[in-house]
Chains A and B, each alone.
Chain A
Amino acid sequence: MESIDPRPPSPDPDGGKAESTEPKDSGASAANASESASVESSGSASAAGSGRPQPVDLAGATSAIYLRKSRAEFSRVSRRELLKLAPILALGAFAIPGVQESLLKKGLGFSDWISSALFRRGHLAPTFADSELTAFDKFPINDYDVDDPGIIFENWSLAVSGAVQKPGDYRLEQIQSLPLMRQNTRHVCVEGWDVIGRFGGTRLSNFLSVIGADTSARFIAVSCADDYYETLDMATALHPQTLLCWEMYDQPLTREHGAPLRLNVPTKVGYKQAKYLTGLKVTNIVEKVGYWEDQGYSGYYGL
């Protein structure tokens, strides 16, 4: 029985498609060719009498390709095609409790890695007109513990340590003697809300050069009066809009907003912008990234 009959091409309902279907055909043809070949090799002795498909000269097939198969053979083809989808089951690893945690950690790490690669040092965060500012009393106050950790301002200083030439305690007047910069930038919270605020202070990069920081180090780690802690990558620390901030809305910082000194980093999400700073360390190694990060939030979270 002649099992392959290259029939006349079926009527093409859509003339415009004729030339377009060529690439698709070749893919499908390959699958059929291998099927035919395997049938041929396994049963060549009885092929002629059993109605098995013969290998077909696909190069000669022009438009329609008809293969004839028994139900069992079609099931076999179908099953083989189904099995090709099996690699997708690897995603099931995400359902295994122990593995899931490490996979998600890797996924978040990958996102952070891409984030730092996307970071452009000279690319500025959008700035806004004074008329677009969120009213000061509408600027949310978020902290993890207390609104006011009770700093005694007269005794306050910033303890600088790590890879710096001039470690020690820096008083607020010393920091405020550096060039003042004010900016209206968007403050984005990881919860999704955003406000536009006015911040004033000096570029962190100014302060880093005053203390003689080794800017080839990887991190700036800060500690806070309320035991909050944070880490900035060096590229972000050197960004021209990253401020050591002592003003909001042209007024000295209020206690709830982080007096006497906080970070303002328009290229980072809100939780990176620590308040009530008490310490600053330039370092290559951080054991703890940040209060929220150590609970599972992104360590980089650049905007």
Chain B
Amino acid sequence: MSEATIEITRTADDGSETVARAVYEHPLPVRICHWLNAISLFVMVGSGLQIFRAFPSFGAKIPQKDLIDWPQSLAIGGWLGGALQWHLTFMWIYIATGAAYLGYQIFSGNYRQVLFTHRDIPGVWPMIRHYFFLGPKPAVHEAYNPLQKQAYTAAIGLGVLSVLTGLAVWKPVQFSGLAWLMGGFHWARLWHFVVMWLILAFVFGHLVMVLLHGWNNFLSMLTGWKKDPEY
């Protein structure tokens, strides 16, 4: 790979020198978008759960929260009106962040780091075997392995879907075509909910992997530089 690389030298007391390596993995726009997205996604899910509490899925006059409830501590907004304020405010941050991220990735060419393509297909099975302790670790040549690319590409697609289903729920008349594609307002609402759970599934896996891969990996999303990369 041809990223910028830094060699970090450390001279011990006896004069011997050890060298570590760091690569610039995450450009600033990507890091900003990552953390803005993390915050806005957190608020969107939290306020979304509060909005869901008002939904009488078991018939009119039977508040949802009488039968299924989230711990109040996970919900944001306190009541339906408050949650809608959070949801309708942070959706603009969420959308703007997503649009800026996609725009940057496409125009900078950096999307190649995360986009899963047909060239990654051969590497999928060996990586799955490795993750299930059935095979050796495939050689790492770039920032993300094929399964990571698959996960990140899917997550970006889910992000787009979350916005599209959300627009269909928010504006089923003005975006009646979009709502129609999803089977109408009623179904768009369900898809919006399903997409949220799929995103949460990604976030769960993502957080597990971050924990498993240690401090240097985590730090790279803050500073851009990944120390001691595997490639």
User: 1/0 contact trace for A63-96 toward B, CB 8 Å?
Assistant: 1111111110010011101101101100100100
Check if A285 is an interface residue, CB within 8 A of chain B.
no
In contact, B2 and A9 (Cβ under 8 angstroms): yes
Q: Assuming the A-B contacts A120-B174, A186-B172, are A24 and B3 also in contact, with contact meaning beta carbons closer than 8 angstroms in the complex?
A: yes
User: Do residues A82 and B185 form an inter-chain contact, with CB atoms below 8 A?
Assistant: no
Contacts of B4 in A (CB 8 A): 25, 28-29, 31-32, 65, 67
Among the listed B8, B119, B222, which residue makes an inter-chain contact with A69, where contact means beta carbons less than 8 Å apart? B8
Counting contact residues on chain B (CB < 8 A from A), the size range is 35 or more
What secondary structure prevails in chain A residues at the interface with B? mixed
The 0/1 profile, CB within 8 Å of A marked 1, for residues 24-49 of chain B is: 10011001100110010001000000
B88 proximal to A (CB < 8 A): yes
Q: Is B60 an interface residue (CB 8 A)?
A: yes
Which of A31, A188, A302 meets B174, CB within 8 Å?
A302
Shortest Cβ distance from residue A226 to the other chain B in the assembled complex, whole angstroms: 18
Does B171 touch A at the CB level, under 8 Å? yes
**Residues B223 and A78 in contact, CB atoms below 8 Å apart:** yes
Distance A94 CA – B43 CA, assembled complex (angstroms): 11
Once the chains bind, are A84 and B55 in contact (CB under 8 Å)?
no
Interface residues of B in 167-191 (CB under 8 A from A): 171-174, 176, 179-180, 184-186, 189
**Closest approach, in angstroms, between the C-beta of B164 and any C-beta of chain A?**
15
CB distance from A287 to the nearest CB of B (A): 20
Q: In the bound complex, do residue A13 and residue B141 qualify as a contact, i.e. CB atoms below 8 Å apart? A: yes
Would A125 and B173 count as touching, CB distance under 8 A? Answer: yes
Whether A111 touches B89, Cβ cut-off 8 Å, given contacts A292-B81, A303-B174, is: yes
Query: By the criterion CB–CB under 8 Å, are A85 and B89 in contact?
Result: no
Taking a contact as CB atoms under 8 Å apart, the answer to whether A28 and B54 are in contact is no
Q: Which residues of B contact A14 (CB under 8 A)?
A: 119, 141-142
| Chain B contacts for A303, CB-based, 8 A | 171-174
From the candidates A22, A28, A297, name the one contacting B81 in the complex (CB within 8 A): A297
Q: Is A119 interfacial (CB-CB < 8 Å)?
A: yes
B3 close to A25 (CB less than 8 A): yes
Q: Are B174 and A67 in contact, CB atoms less than 8 angstroms apart?
A: no
Give the chain B neighbours of A74 by CB distance below 8 A: 6, 8, 22, 225, 227
How close is A115's CB to chain B, nearest CB, in angstroms? 7
Within 8 A of B (CB), among A1-19: 9-10, 12-14, 16-18
Q: Is the CB of A85 within 8 A of B55?
A: no
Partner of B119 from A16, A107, A188, A292 at Cβ < 8 Å: A16
Whether A67 and B2, one on each chain, are in contact in the complex, defined by CB atoms closer than 8 angstroms, is: no
**Distance A188 CA – B108 CA, assembled complex (angstroms):** 43
A107 & B32 in contact (Cβ 8 Å cutoff): no
Q: Which residues of A contact B35 (CB under 8 A)?
A: 85, 88
Indicate if the CB atoms of A66 and B173 lie closer than 8 Å: no
CB-nearest residue of chain A to B8: A74
- Using Cβ atoms and an 8 Å threshold, which residues of chain B touch A42? none
Q: From B28, which residue of chain A is reached at the shortest CB distance? A: A84
Q: Mark B1-30, 1 if CB is under 8 A from A, else 0.
A: 111111111110000000000101001100
Interface string of B145-182 (1 = CB under 8 A from A): 00000000000000000000000000111101001100
Closest 9 A/B residue pairs (Cβ): A107-B89, A13-B141, A28-B4, A192-B55, A140-B60, A296-B81, A78-B223, A111-B88, A104-B85
23 A-B residue pairs with Cβ-Cβ distance under 8 Å, sorted by A, are A13-B142, A14-B119, A21-B1, A21-B2, A21-B109, A23-B110, A24-B109, A25-B2, A27-B27, A31-B4, A51-B9, A67-B4, A68-B9, A70-B10, A81-B222, A82-B223, A104-B82, A104-B86, A110-B89, A123-B176, A142-B60, A193-B55, A303-B172
On A, residues with C-beta under 8 Å from B are 9-10, 12-14, 16-18, 20-25, 27-29, 31-32, 51, 63-71, 74, 77-79, 81-82, 84-85, 87-88, 91, 94, 103-108, 110-111, 115, 118-120, 123, 125-126, 140, 142, 186, 188, 190-194, 266-267, 292, 295-298, 302-303
Q: B-side interface residues toward A, CB under 8 Å?
A: 1-11, 22, 24, 27-28, 31-32, 35-36, 39, 43, 51-52, 54-56, 60-61, 80-82, 84-86, 88-93, 107-110, 112-113, 119, 141-142, 171-174, 176, 179-180, 184-186, 189, 219, 222-225, 227, 231
